[in-house]
Amino acid sequence: MTSEKNHVRITALKAMELINSAGQSLVKVETDSGLVGYGEAGASGPVVRANLAVMEKMLLGEDPLGVERLYSKMVSSQHTYRAHIPTVSGVDIALWDLAGKILDQSVSKLITGRFRDEISMYYTENPPDMADLSSCREWVSRVTSHPDGYRTIKAGFESLCGRGIPHFEGAVPSQTLTAMEIEKIRCGFEIVREAMGQDLDLIVHCHNEWDLPSMISLGEAMASVKPLWIEDPLPVWYSESWKALKMASPVRICTGEKLEGLREFHPFITNSAVDAVHPDLAFAGGITGCRQIAALADLYYIPVVTHNVGTLIQNVATAHFGASTRNFLMSETRIYERPFIRDMGVEQIVVKNGAMKVPDGPGLGVTLLPEVLKDNLKDGEPYWD
């Protein structure tokens, strides 16, 4: 397809939302050559389609190979509306998919060449009863028996909520945990660690709910549990509390799943306020935006872990991003709990020993199956509009 170089133009931008897709949408960029690129955006179908309509004037007729120029054009939009970064993210991923197809290269080889041919992935699920060792052992046995072979588990303490622990309220800043509540959480995670043994890694999830004193105490309480890190302990946006927490905590601190673009990650990285950053390709600017974040983090020796609750497109885009990023560590995934994710594409997705093989085909290396997409459309959603 190299003969298409400098001759392909963008003709249409489309989106649709599938069921059980965490409120995210697939994006399609069509061209006059017949080639199409697919991305995934971190917003619902109606929201993404509305923003695509605004973005048409800057993208229709453009050469899709100008990916980074088009990214700059999209994110710098200020009037009449500021750029909607979740929609930009989906378009950016689709543009990289298109570029790879036009040049007959996989996205990861096209960007940098690969640092790795597979990426480590972790399993996210809360234990049903953190206060009961037998229940936790059954949970660990079920998780570790999955054929994908996951070796890292992320868990929150939701099963303790209503038992003297405040309920999560959707990242409402900010709640306070008392000393007795912290003690209950410590006991719960120590039971989880006993059930897991020392052969599995654990991530403690906190959902951006809590204040600084609570999280300093939680960090101290988690020392005996030996988690990889505490994720999203404080309210989403940067404040000096993040730096104070990192300095006080005996365990690592990680955040980023709801941050958008390099600008919002910048203070966390340059102030050394976290031990790992956690961007989501569908929220933080797609592949281009996350590459910028990773490059800055690399200067500060901070690893990159990706948040990912998306469908097949986000999983393979994350795999290409991880393969082409030196300081990439691992990614979240939900392919183990949503069978339609694997069914969406012609090509088989291979996960072994908790690691996903990076596809080798042109672009993202995915051929979507229309019948599966139609069968899994959210009620009221159009098929590609």
Tell me the per-residue pLDDT of 20-72, one tens digit each, with 9 for 90 and over. 999 999 999 999 999 999 999 999 999 999 999 999 999 999 999 999 999 99
| Helix (H/G/I), strand (E/B), else coil: 65 | coil
Tokens (6 digits) for 60: 């229709």
Q: Is the pLDDT of residue 220 over 80?
A: yes
Mean pLDDT of 357-370: 98
- Checking if the pLDDT of 163 tops 90, the result is no
Could you confirm whether domain 2-104 is CATH 3.30.390.10?
yes
C-alpha triplet 336, 342, 346: angle, nearest 5°: 165
One of 3.40.50.10710, 3.20.20.120, 3.30.70.20, 1.10.150.80 is the CATH number of 110-361, namely 3.20.20.120
Task: Cite the residue boundaries of each domain of the chain with CATH code 3.30.390.10.
Answer: 2-104
DSSP string spanning 97-160?
Answer: HHHHHHHT-BHHHHHT--S-SEEEEEEE---S-TT-HHHHHHHHHHHHTSTT---EEEE-SGGG
Placement of tokens 């979740």 in the chain: 86
Residues 6+ apart with CB under 8 A from 178: none
pLDDT tens string 165-194: 776 666 666 789 999 999 999 999 999 999
E strands, 34-117, are 36-41
Q: Which residues contact 57 (CB under 8 A, 6 or more apart)?
A: none
pLDDT digit string, tens, across residues 63-108: 999 999 999 999 998 788 889 999 999 999 999 999 999 999 999 9
Task: Pinpoint the residues of the chain covered by CATH 3.20.20.120.
Answer: 110-361
Q: What is the pLDDT of residues 287-346, one digit of tens each?
A: 999 999 999 999 999 999 999 999 999 999 999 999 999 999 999 999 998 999 999 999
CB atoms within 10 A of CB 117: 12
Q: What's the pLDDT at 59?
A: 97
